[in-house]
Amino acid sequence: MRKAMVLLVLMWMVNFNISAQVRKLTLTLHQKPLKELFNQIEKQCGYGFIYSDEVVKDTMKASLNVKEAPVSTVLGEVLRDHKLAFNLISEKLIAIGYSNNQLKSGGVSKFAFGGIISDKNGVGIPFVSLSLLRSSVIVEKIVSETNGHFQLNHYFLPADRYRLLATSVGYKPLEISFTIADTSDLKKLVMSEESQTLQTVTVINAKPLIERKTDRYIVNVENGSLAQGLSAFEVLQKSPGIWVSQDGSIRIKGNQSVLVMINDVVQRMSQDDLAEYLKSLRSEDISKIEVIYNPPAEFEAAGTGGIVHIVLKKSRKDGINGSLNGRYQKQGKQSLISGGSSLAYKVKRFYLSANGSYTSDRNSSFGEETVFYPDASTFSNKTRRNNQISRYQYRFSAAYEISSNQAIAIQNTGSKNQPSQLFLTDIIYQYLTSRNGYARADWDRNIRFNSTTLNYTWKIDTLGSSLKIIGDYSENSKNEQNKLLATYSNPFSSMQSRTLTPSSTGIYAAQMDYTKTWENKTELKSGIKYSSIERDNESISENFIQGLWVNNPLISNQFLYKEQLNMLYTTLEKTIGPNSIKIGLRAEQTLSNGLSVTSGDAFKRKYFSLFPSVYLMRTLNEDKGSSLFLNYSKRLQRPSFNDLNPYRLQVHDYMVLTGNPNLLPQYSHNIQAGYNFLSHYNFDLYYSSTNNLIALLANTIDNNVVEYKSYNFRDGREYGLNLNASPRISKSWQSNYSLSLYRASTSINNLGNSKITLAAKSMHTISFKKLPTLDIISEYKSPSVSGNTRLGHMFYLDLMLSQKILKEKAVLRMYLSDVLNTVREKEFSFSNGTTIDFYQKRQTRNISLSFSYNFSLGNKFNQNNIEQSNKEENRRMGN
């Protein structure tokens, strides 16, 4: 019997070698994932592959240069380096598993057994997927033959218990538990038919919430806990390692501002406008979020605190596919209602896609402020704010694959936000006598954004060399009106005014990027970019006098601004054994001029800067995901268009907002060193030094009026540590932790402000079969500083329950935000003897119910990602 078995094995090996050697492979790869090698073999030779992600990891790379080489030779040499082996299951199917040498320790012996799998009538079922599991890990995977027969060969541990899982479309899954001493139950397996057979079956490979790459980490939103029933703003708030305040500021380390990108496009908007835009995007449209602490030279130099890149979903199937989603949220006595849909169609080399959403948001908040002046007088106010906001968002795209390595695409995106806010304020000014008053402010805005992009890509070779050309035009417009009615106990102090601030911004941009990859693990990237920006911003101030609106020329202003940016970069990356180095140099020239049409004041700016970057990494243990890294980069932050505008906005009698045309760009030097270990843990230390730091400063001017204006601080220093962990507590309980401890300090006019701050966030996902999934999210941030302002601590606790329904095509979710109602804003500012104590409580404890439904027809395909060129300019487009 043993001789017969040996003879059969030898015959099988000979048959494999003959079959595998007939099919030849011509291919060049440089440090590409093993899965890319499998894809190329499938394209050239017609083999399919079966493997587990636990066995073939994303970190496993391959480099080779072969011409007309047998597939068996290529696989044998490449897999040997990763302690893997392959098995030809059929004429067209190869299974990947651990090598024999890795399994032979500990009394392991190889055993082969077979059987037949059939339906209730005894008819063999072809192509059944059979998975062998040990301790919940797939160790072998095969497919039954056309007559239902199967044979399994594996190195078994005699004392261990194994499970064989059989799955096939139209049949209920079958699972058998056994030991190698007793395989009698496996001789004949019978599968039961499903009562209903699905017309379309979607197989989803669930990704972990957090993935770590060499230069970034990724939050996988799609198919995860944050995938349904949230806005993009809320997704960022809940994502590990990202810190978002209630006023819309986004941070990934310490207190430094970040660059926000959406599908490779930098969002050049003010903080308020960006927050509104992110609230118009649905979580159902987001695929992942990339967080890059120290971006290399191919990224624009803007953004001192790194980059947050939101990647929207791509279409995945031939034919028609799409989704529908809706959400209702109770916000105190008011509510939020939103809905959206997406649709994509692909036929051969051409595809179209579109999506859109609408949100109606009604909420309220309460705030109070007290100002203490050097002359012992005080000003205090209590404000009730009612918000009514409508948000619209859409995206259309089309692409055509000219050939297998060339494609052209066009995309148009747009949004329209209409915030309408009512402020009702009680005012008390106390000096020698008390002066009481009441103010009503109506602030209405109509914000439109539109961008059109055309791009061309050419994949020059299989090593990864490519050429990319991008051109686009973006425009942003805003019509804003702020009416103020103030009534005081002294009738001579009462007044009525309004301010109109229409603005428009246009950006033209073009860029070209070239990548050359060599076989010796070397890659060169180089690119050039040009952008032209024009902005027209007007501020019209009027007073209501004797029944007529009369222009106030003293504080009215029209501001014209033009800017040109010329940029180029080069990076070189080299891998030598376990070490990799990437160096880069970016050059940016800025030409700008501003003109106040009203006053005749003008300014010109011309500056050129070089931005070097260095990234070093040493892999310690690839299998365990451990590595050391060190990187440095120089970054800048240009003043926003709004900050440069010398306008003057009267909020009420004791507060004004104004621009500063004398602002200079801020420059920062950033260095980071860290350690990745055990695949789920990351620790790093960082230091950042900033010159000409731009920050908002509150100052007291004439008549005890508080003026808010951005200034260049002399310098800013920040250093700290970050710790991120994603341990799995049990099979049903996944956790994610983020911790940031840093010290930030600033100085202006001999006025210093510094603070050590701790920020911590945790997210737990607990899931059981046939039961709703529970998500628990909490965050704490200790007091911090910004400019000459100290901010209070913050804490919140959120709960989410979600359940898949309608044969897992839909998800129903209930979301409870700020369960303990602890989120509030507390600020304390000081300058020249004046202190400002501010408090605000928004409606944060809410309950919502959301529903999303996905549908699809057709086979899997990859939709091209359409990039845009006007990255940095869009972020600064704020009005």
The per-residue pLDDT for range 100-118, each reduced to its tens digit, is 544 444 444 556 778 889 8
- Asked whether residue 540 is assigned to any structural domain, the reply reads yes
CATH number at residue 127: 2.60.40.10
Give the integer Cα–Cα distance in Å for 589 and 591.
7
- Asked whether residue 239 is assigned to any structural domain, the reply reads no
Q: What does the mean pLDDT of the chain come to?
A: 82
Mean pLDDT of 127-151: 77
Structure tokens given for 649: 């906005």
Structural domain range at position 60: 2-190
- Asked whether residue 136 is assigned to any structural domain, the reply reads yes
The string of pLDDT tens digits covering residues 274-300 is 877 888 788 888 888 888 888 888 888
Confidence of residue 243 (pLDDT cuts 50, 70, 90): confident
Whether 634 shows a pLDDT value over 80: the answer reads yes
Per the DSSP assignment, residues forming a β-bridge with 457 are 407, 468
Structure tokens given for 681: 């843990």
Asked if 798 and 238 count as a contact pair (C-beta separation under 8 A), the reply is: yes
Given this model, what pLDDT does residue 315 score?
A: 58
Residue among 360, 362, 256, 244 nearest 310 (CA)? 244
- Asked whether residue 253 is assigned to any structural domain, the reply reads no
Among 190, 210, 236, the domain boundary falls at 190
Given this model, what pLDDT does residue 104 score?
A: 43
Whether 619 shows a pLDDT value over 70: the answer reads yes
Question: Taking the CA of residue 762 as centre, how many other CA atoms within 13 Å lie in the half-sphere pointing to its CB?
Answer: 10
CB neighbour class for 740 (10 Å; exposed up to 12, middle 13-18, buried from 19): buried
- Asked whether residue 130 is assigned to any structural domain, the reply reads yes
Asked if 318 and 858 count as a contact pair (C-beta separation under 8 A), the reply is: yes
CATH number at residue 456: 2.40.170.20
Identify each DSSP E strand in 8-158 by its residue range. 24-33, 48-50, 61-70, 84-90, 93-98, 109-118, 129-134, 137-143, 149-156
Higher-scoring residue by pLDDT: 145, 652: 145
Planar angle of CA 175, 180, 184, nearest 5 degrees: 65
Given this model, what pLDDT does residue 214 score?
A: 62
Higher-scoring residue by pLDDT: 864, 858: 858
The string of pLDDT tens digits covering residues 193-213 is 765 433 333 334 456 777 776
Report in angstroms the alpha-carbon separations of 511 from 467, 527, 587, 613: 11, 7, 14, 21
* 574 & 718 share domain: yes
Q: Which helix (H) or strand (E) holds 43?
A: helix 34-45
Given this model, what pLDDT does residue 843 score?
A: 94
- Asked whether residue 224 is assigned to any structural domain, the reply reads no
Residue among 419, 387, 369 nearest 651 (CA)? 369
Planar angle of CA 790, 791, 797, nearest 5 degrees: 165
Mean pLDDT of 176-192: 81
The string of pLDDT tens digits covering residues 432-479 is 777 888 889 899 999 999 999 998 999 898 778 999 999 989 998 999
Among 158, 190, 222, the domain boundary falls at 190
Q: What is the pTM of this model?
A: 0.70
- Asked whether residue 298 is assigned to any structural domain, the reply reads no
Mean pLDDT of 539-550: 89
Among 157, 190, 223, the domain boundary falls at 190
The string of pLDDT tens digits covering residues 40-80 is 888 888 887 877 666 787 778 888 888 888 887 788 788 87
Confidence of residue 137 (pLDDT cuts 50, 70, 90): low
- Asked whether residue 150 is assigned to any structural domain, the reply reads yes
How far does Cα 248 stand from its chain's mean position?
A: 16
Q: How many domains does the chain have?
A: 2
Higher-scoring residue by pLDDT: 19, 159: 159
